[in-house]
Amino acid sequence: MSREALAEAEGDPFLGITIADRFVIVGKLGAGSMGTVYRARQEAMGRDVAIKILRSDRAFDAQAKARFTREARAMSLLRSPHTVTVFDFGEIVDDATDAAFGRGRSAEQSSPGEGPTWSNGSLYLAMELLEGESLGQRLKRLRRLRVGDAARFARHALLSLAEAHDKGIIHRDLKPDNLFLARPPAGEHEEICKVLDFGIAKVMTGTERPVDALETQAGTVFGTPRYMSPEQAQGKPLDARSDLYSLGVLLYQMLVGRPPFIDDDAVVVMARHIKSAPAPALEAAPDAGIPPSLSELLQRALAKRPEERPRSAQEFIAELDRAMDEARPSVRRERPAPAQPAEVGATSELLAVVGDGADGSQPPSTSRPAPRKRTSRVAVGTVALSLIVTMLA
């Protein structure tokens, strides 16, 4: 089928075009407020990839482009098998793209003797195309995980964070939809947990100053309230220990079946992270078989003061390993969770690329989505938050 026929049949002008002379767009995975994600074929490498393309109406939005670029650069620095792999990043400059947008060009836009070189200004990010499901999808099906699985997924995520932190990258938005449980490679039997979506990551230079100030305006809080550290909720300067708190929240949810703090009002949730002590996991889910040593580690990870948490991802891993070694006999006696394999399809592949909302992207759906609660990623003023904190004090 020709590019034009494919585009007309599917109703998307990008289908069939070639990006950067090597990625042929063959299908659409999903779209959101910041961009669209496609399946593409890289014939020279014999593989399919996922390509995230910045929306054309954001092509000249300086903040959108800066964020997109920051995500690409942050991810390109990481080589951990527990971080989604980036293959390529750049700006789309392509005649076929221009035709896809239906834009005409005058002769002045081309050099003599050359074809037109107009660019729509959109950026693209090519990444590995994963199969499996997000942790968020898994928790929606099972509510909570077996202790061994929860600890293993947390360990994988910590390995990703250890490398990121060593390179001066703070994720700042760890949540279930930004951890992906990928199907194991051939010959392996265990799923691999990968960290996704560095869209609001903070990349530090050697002087401990952010590479860009896009997300560091005074008095503004960025992130997902249910998984924010207390210092993040207050708009304070962050270091790697903020991510460790968020990872602690994720591990708590995997074990207990819910995050430590829940409310439909995002600001109330943030205030509780700042002021309220979480119930120990062992008490919150006494029937889950959570080892006391693991529950105690979680209390440390969820400490309000960063200096009371594990000092690094590597230290967190070491303490997690010790806790699991102490609990190994009881963990082996766990009843396995019911087998409910993830559906194969575009939804899983999309989430491997964009998570659940760094850019508002949503997977294709045949059913009407449930109303979103007000605890999704937010940017709020710290003045309003301080009032709520005072009320809860």
- pLDDT (tens digit per residue) in 226-240: 999 999 999 999 999
Give dist(CA 283, CA 129) in Å, integer.
39
Asked if pLDDT for residue 102 goes beyond 90, the answer is: no
- Whether 111 has a pLDDT exceeding 90, the answer reads no
331 pLDDT band, cuts 50/70/90, is low
Architecture (CATH level 2) of domain 13-104+117-128: 2-Layer Sandwich (3.30)
pLDDT of 199 higher than 90: no
Q: By percentage, how much of the chain surpasses pLDDT 70?
A: 69
Residues 269-282 have a mean pLDDT of 97
How many angstroms separate the CA atoms of 325 and 331, rounded?
Answer: 9
- Kindly report, residue by residue over 348-376, the tens digit of the pLDDT: 444 444 443 433 334 433 333 344 444 45
pLDDT for 10 equals 52
Question: Which superfamily does CATH assign the domain made up of 132-355+376-392 to?
Answer: Transferase(Phosphotransferase) domain 1 (1.10.510.10)
Look at 330 and 24; give whichever has higher pLDDT.
24
Out of 26-35, 157-166, 189-198, 243-252, which region has the weakest mean confidence (pLDDT)?
Answer: 26-35
The domains of the chain are located at 13-104+117-128, 132-355+376-392
In sequence order, which residues have a C-beta less than 8 Å from that of residue 223 and are 6 or more positions away?
Answer: 172, 173, 200, 232, 233, 377, 378
Compute the average pLDDT of residues 261-286. 97
Instruction: Work out the average pLDDT over 233-258.
Output: 97
Q: Residue 251's closest CA among 148, 173, 379, 354?
A: 148
Q: Lowest mean pLDDT: which of 98-112, 143-157, 181-195? A: 98-112
Give pLDDT, residue 260.
98
> Tens of pLDDT along 6-58?
444 456 778 899 999 999 999 998 877 678 889 999 999 999 999 999 887 78
Q: Which residue has the higher pLDDT, 122 or 247?
A: 247
Residue 353's pLDDT is 46
Instruction: Determine the average pLDDT of the residues in 96-103.
Output: 50
Q: Is the pLDDT of residue 178 over 80?
A: yes
Mean pLDDT computed over 378-389: 49
**Radius of gyration in angstroms for the set of CA atoms belonging to the chain, rounded to a whole number:** 22
Decide which of 133 and 203 is more confident: 133
pLDDT of residue 31: 79
Eight-class DSSP state of 204: B
Tell me which of 62 and 310 has the higher pLDDT. Answer: 310
Whether 173 is catalytic is yes
Per-residue confidence (pLDDT) for residue 316, from 0 to 100: 99
Q: Mean per-residue pLDDT for 201-216?
A: 54
Range with the poorest average pLDDT among 52-66, 251-265, 266-280: 52-66
pLDDT band at 70 (very low <50, low <70, confident <90, very high): confident
Q: What pLDDT is recorded for position 203?
A: 81
Looking at residue 381, what is its pLDDT?
A: 52
Burial of 108 (0-12, 13-18, 19+ CB in 10 A): exposed
- The CA-CA-CA angle for residues 181, 183, 184, to 5°, reads 115
Q: pLDDT category, 67, cuts 50, 70, 90?
A: confident
Asked whether the domain spanning 132-355+376-392 has the same topology as the one spanning 13-104+117-128, the reply is no
Mean pLDDT of 190-214: 71
Residue predicted with more confidence, 384 or 246: 246
Which of 95-109, 277-291, 330-344 bottoms out in mean pLDDT, i.e. has the lowest? 95-109
CA nearest to 150, candidates 309, 295, 312? 295
Q: Looking at 98, 173, 243, 356, which residue is catalytic?
A: 173
In this structure, the dihedral spanned by the alpha carbons of residues 180, 248, 136 and 253, taken in order and rounded to 10 degrees, is 140
- Would the annotation count 175 as a binding residue? no
Task: Flag whether pLDDT at 172 surpasses 90.
Answer: yes
pLDDT, residue 43, reads 93
On whether the CB atoms of residues 234 and 385 are closer than 8 A, the answer is yes
**Residue that is written with structure tokens 């750049």 in the block:** 90
What is the residue-averaged pLDDT of the chain? 78
